[in-house]
């Protein structure tokens, strides 16, 4: 079968690979759509980062590059392994693309997203969503019901935003400011609104992304090239500052802006995956007793995220800005997002010509 494999920095190839075999307790998914994530772009430009390099096999898979990429995917069940129940061939499903040990203190506490040896389907081994078929354990399969598999491919990034919103101390009616209106910023905005935020402020300089923010649920959009964001947020909050801020860009100046924009005793949630060591002015935290917490991916969030989509509390379709075939992954997907990022949010990739 065809699969897109990462061979090294700037080197992704469409290879012929063996179709994976389904084992006991596993489900084979025929992939319909897989989204290109910002972390995929980081791997392409700066990696290997999460992808295990030669000589350093992943502790759970025992594998190194080349690996099949793609972790934001959905499709239909093609085959069920022995012992799998409650599912049928042909069901539409989204995949929670985790690899976890199940034994460490984090896993024992139910926080498997911070498993000490965790990995991801699409980053840590031969399985990935940029392929025709993928096999995962039943526990990572989430039924979509009547939702389309294109929307299903957005469940994973939406769950990232939902998890960040849930992890934060935001209460109903609070003001939140989201720095960055790329894919993760937009889904964070949508998740905050769905969870009852009173006012959501989006901070974004790119014209196309600014245009998407209101549709995601932003009440106010601030352009940092046109206004002093800290002053504007304080004006919008009666001088207090936002209750919580979300850093979705991975940029030092943006992190500083997030810290400066929250009220005394407020919280900054870092959602971005950084491509470099961050610089933080610690005195800015101390002076206002600002808390900074990290939010990694998701944990028990997929079902709630799917429910938001079914209840039409989030319009995920607005985030899809392109659909391409697997053969066009690099030129029509990765390079398009890198070279024209201001014009794109989420590009979906399908290995099935019939869906294009």
Superfamily of domain 160-294, CATH level 4: NAD(P)-binding Rossmann-like Domain (3.40.50.720)
pTM for this model (two decimals): 0.94
pLDDT tens digit sequence for 177-201: 999 998 889 989 999 999 999 999 9
The span from the CA of 99 to the CA of 113, in Å, is: 9
Type and span of the H or E element at 193: helix 183-194
In the chain, ranges of CATH 3.40.50.720 domains = 160-294
Residue 275 has pLDDT above 80, yes or no: no
Per residue in 118-152, pLDDT (tens digit) is 999 999 998 999 999 999 999 999 999 999 999 99
Among the listed residues 234, 197, 251, 235, the one whose alpha carbon sits nearest the alpha carbon of residue 219: 197
Topology adopted by domain 2-153+315-355: Quinone Oxidoreductase; Chain A, domain 1 (3.90.180)
The two three-digit tokens of residue 284, written as one number: 């800015």
Report the chain's C-alpha Rg in angstroms. 20
Query: How far from 115 is each of 19, 102, 163, 266, CA to CA, in Å?
Result: 28, 8, 16, 28
284-308 mean pLDDT: 96
Where exactly does CATH 3.90.180.10 map onto the chain?
2-153+315-355
């Amino acid at each position: 079968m065809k699969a897109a494999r990462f061979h090294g920095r700037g080197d992704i190839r469409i290879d012929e690979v063996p179709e994976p075999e389904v084992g006991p307790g596993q489900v084979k998914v025929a992939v319909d759509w897989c989204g290109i994530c910002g972390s995929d772009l980081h791997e392409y430009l700066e990696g290997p980062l999460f992808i295990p390099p030669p000589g350093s096999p992943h502790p759970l898979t025992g594998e190194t590059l080349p690996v099949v990429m793609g972790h934001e995917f959905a499709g239909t069940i093609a085959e069920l392994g022995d012992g799998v129940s409650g599912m049928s061939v042909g069901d539409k499903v989204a995949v929670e693309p985790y690899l976890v040990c199940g034994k460490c203190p984090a896993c024992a506490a139910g926080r498997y997203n911070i498993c000490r040896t965790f990995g991801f389907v699409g980053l840590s081994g031969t399985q990935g969503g940029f392929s025709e078929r993928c096999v995962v354990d039943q526990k990572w399969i989430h039924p979509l019901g009547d939702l389309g598999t294109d929307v299903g491919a957005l469940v994973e990034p939406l769950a990232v935003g939902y998890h960040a919103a849930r992890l934060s101390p935001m209460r109903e009616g609070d003001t939140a400011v989201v720095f960055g209106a790329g894919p993760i910023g937009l889904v964070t905005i949508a998740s905050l609104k769905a969870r009852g935020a009173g006012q959501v402020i989006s901070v974004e300089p790119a014209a196309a992304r600014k245009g998407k923010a209101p549709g995601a649920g932003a009440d106010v959009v601030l352009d940092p090239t046109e206004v002093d964001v800290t002053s504007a947020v304080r004006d919008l909050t009666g001088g207090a500052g936002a209750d919580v801020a979300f850093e979705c860009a991975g940029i030092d100046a943006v992190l500083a802006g997030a810290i400066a924009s929250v009220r005394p005793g407020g919280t900054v949630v870092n959602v971005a995956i950084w491509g470099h060591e961050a610089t933080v002015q610690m005195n800015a935290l101390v002076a206002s007793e600002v808390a900074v917490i990290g939010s990694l991916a998701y944990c028990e969030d997929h079902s709630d995220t799917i429910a938001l989509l079914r209840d039409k509390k989030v319009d995920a379709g607005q985030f899809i800005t392109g659909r391409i075939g697997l053969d066009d992954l690099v030129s029509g997907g990765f390079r398009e997002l890198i070279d024209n990022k201001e014009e794109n949010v989420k590009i979906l990739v399908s290995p099935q010509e019939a869906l294009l």
